[in-house]
Structure 1
Amino acid sequence: MENMSLVPLELPQKLTDGEGGSYYAWNDVVFPFLGAGQIGYVLQGSNGVAGIMYPESKEEKVVKLEKGDTIVVPKGVVSWWFNAGNDELNIIYLGETHNAINPGNFTYGLLAGAIGILKGFSNKTIAKAYDINDEQVNELVGSQKEALILKLEQGLTMPKPSNYDLTIEFDEVKPDFQVKNGGSIRFLTSEKQSTLEGIKICGRLLKLDPNAMFGPIYYAQESGVELSYVTKGSGWVQIVGLNGQIALDTKLEVGQLFAVPKFHVIAVGAGDEGIECFSIVTTSKPRLAQIAGNMSFWKTMSPQVLQASLNVTPKFCELFMDKIENTTIIMPPN
């Protein structure tokens, strides 16, 4: 991730498209075996269903999905996804891929479909593994025509959601920071969602009111890479590196994806309609360090040190300290 591009990515590549739906990715996706841990966020839909099967588990966990829900998909699980509603089901998945077969890309393996793993084994191996004859092998392996997404035949009923606590509505998570007329920040960690235990990522939902600003901040403890997707509204982002040079300064629109490398400082501003961003951070313990605001280092620094380091007059130093006292991590519009 050290060589990542900071230019916001607008349109992912369409990898598959069929009667049942489409699958897009911002990088080439490979399909060897099961994927790295990731968090899914439902952008659209009111009646989605997902089935999750954990290794060595004797039961399938079936959950309902609707707009605003998040669902954690740990590494090594088997899953299926179904739209039981009349509107589109649109889900974005963000995850850490450092240990993937091809770092930077999700690693998936398909149990079924035109490129499913059974296609690679000989008929003799399949027959032995499942105790079936050659005719049954041909039906098992050769019946699937679609690669990834298919449309169900009439009369086939999918399992109904159970009460498994695998999803959480992000808006129901208690805000970690909230400012009147400014916005809110919510982190999704293992303390709030047990399925994140053992996965060194967390989710974040940033909501800014019109013309409000978040930051500048960076992640102080177990600093990780941040990957953010604009889910609503518009605005701007500025990212500065350790050498004090601007690494990214650009406008943001719905559907754009941008990355923040380790130890880089970021500020996000909302446009006239506000902005919302769903993010993952490659740390299990997010801790924001503020560069501005009443919780910043400037606030705790001795006035003499501040004056000397900034090379300012005592009068300006006093003014600066007074201003910091009245600012916060999210600033409402003036």
Structure 2
Amino acid sequence: MELSLVPQGADNILVEVDGAGTYYEWTPAKSPLLKAANLGAGKLVLHPRGFALPHYSNCPKIGYVIQGTCTVGMIQPNSPHEQVLIIRKGDAIPVPLGAISWWFNGGDTPVTVIFLGNTTLSYDPGHIEYFILSGPISLLAGFSSEFITKTYNITEDEAQKLTKSQTAPLIVKLDDQIAMPHQANIEKKGGLLYASLVDCKDISAENLPLLEEVGLSARLVRLEPVSLLRPSYSTDGSYRIFYAVSGSGKIQIVGLNGGLVLDGKVEEGELFAVPSFFAVSLIAGGEGIELFSINTSSRPNFGDLGGKLSPWKAMSSSVVQASLDVDLEFVNFFKSKLSIGRK
């Protein structure tokens, strides 16, 4: 494994509009495993009255709210209905492939949403790509007036107004006189992702069927100071990508032939990816750590190398003795240690 696995912060600003918001992204140049694993990551920051224009993507993804409260509109392809959701800090929302969405900060404080997704269908793997419905780099702006007038049954002047009025590329700050939707019209069943300290909370196709369509699953992990996230690996060959929401920690990833491919530290705002079948473990720093991750399977399976579900616990004592080349007394001692702690 020659690719760098070192945790990285977002290294590119795709769009920045003063007073409205910013969209940051991680690029394969700094995080090469993203391209190899067909994963992508972006971060949307919206200031009060900031509005991310309607768009769709060729990347199914999950958004996780790091701070603030955000109004989200979602329209499934060819649906006559707009679904409106109010999401808050700690909420996770799947965004299916091709679904049209818009994002609005109707509050008084900034909103930050991290997006992690599958870029298999991207033209540039490792990037989450967007197709915007309005503005200077939109689909509307691309078609000629002849096509626009015939599509919407309007005049040439009306076509100019339709396609040229919006000058913001992706994010705009709205005037107070525009009354944006402020109430949800659907329930976010299964969409809440939260956890208490030293706990894991998962969303997968088992408890949120929409993820079957998205092809992803997500997990939130919160660890107390110096607590351990035990070594584990994906048993189904899927990749994992982690984002440090808060805090910091020491991380190790072990791969082929026992190679320690990463021995480093992850800080708040950084992201790292774990190759399929590689084992990862983390020790929280002095302030603890909160991690949000996605898996490239909607029904993931993980193998735990420690604790009550460790394979060492299940093995016959004689097999453990032969495998480790130790005496039976040490085997019994070792197995007793595996019974300590949560599953």
Aligned mate of 1:187, from 202, 207, 220: 202
How far residue 197 of structure 1 moved from its aligned partner, in angstroms, is: 2.6
* SS of corresponding position for 1:132: coil
Does residue 319 (structure 1) correspond to residue 341 (structure 2)? The answer is no
Q: How does 1:1-334 map to 2 (within 5 A)?
A: 5-18=4-17, 19-27=19-27, 34-46=57-69, 48-166=70-188, 168-171=191-194, 183-220=198-235, 222-328=236-342
How far residue 195 of structure 1 moved from its aligned partner, in angstroms, is: 2.3
Residues 166 and 195 of structure 1 are in contact (CA less than 8 Å); yes or no, is this contact kept in structure 2? Answer: no
Which residue type is aligned with residue 318 of structure 2? Q
* SS of corresponding position for 2:242: strand
Partners of 2:193 and 2:57 in 1: CA distance: 26
Residues 56 and 131 of structure 2 are in contact (CA less than 8 Å); yes or no, is this contact kept in structure 1? Answer: yes
Residues 95 and 214 of structure 2 are in contact (CA less than 8 Å); yes or no, is this contact kept in structure 1? Answer: no
Partners of 2:12 and 2:133 in 1: CA distance: 23
Which residue type is aligned with residue 80 of structure 2? K
CA-based RMSD of the aligned residues comes to: 2.1
Corresponding residue of 1:178: none
How far residue 328 of structure 1 moved from its aligned partner, in angstroms, is: 4.5
After superposition, the Cα gap between the structure-2 partners of 1:257 and 1:111, relative to the gap in structure 1 and judged at 3 Å, is: same
* SS of corresponding position for 1:243: helix
Partners of 1:197 and 1:165 in 2: CA distance: 19
Q: How many residues align?
A: 317
Partners of 1:87 and 1:154 in 2: CA distance: 15
In structure 2, stretches of 5+ residues that fail to align are 29-39, 43-54
Partners of 1:3 and 1:135 in 2: CA distance: 57
Partners of 1:114 and 1:166 in 2: CA distance: 33
How far residue 4 of structure 1 moved from its aligned partner, in angstroms, is: 5.2
Which residue type is aligned with residue 20 of structure 1? A
Partners of 1:318 and 1:65 in 2: CA distance: 50
Partners of 1:12 and 1:161 in 2: CA distance: 35
* SS of corresponding position for 1:198: helix
TM-score by length of 1: 0.89
Which residue type is aligned with residue 206 of structure 2? E
1:283-326 deviation per Cα after TM superposition (whole angstroms, max 9, x unaligned): 11122211111211101111111111111122222221222222
How far residue 73 of structure 1 moved from its aligned partner, in angstroms, is: 0.5
1:187-220 deviation per Cα after TM superposition (whole angstroms, max 9, x unaligned): 1112222321322210100111111101111122
1:147-172 deviation per Cα after TM superposition (whole angstroms, max 9, x unaligned): 00001123111123224134733127
Residues 62 and 93 of structure 2 are in contact (CA less than 8 Å); yes or no, is this contact kept in structure 1? Answer: yes
Structure 1 runs (4+) deviating above 4 angstroms are: none
In structure 1, stretches of 5+ residues that fail to align are 176-181, 330-334
Residues 106 and 182 of structure 2 are in contact (CA less than 8 Å); yes or no, is this contact kept in structure 1? Answer: no
Corresponding residue of 2:52: none
How far residue 253 of structure 1 moved from its aligned partner, in angstroms, is: 1.1
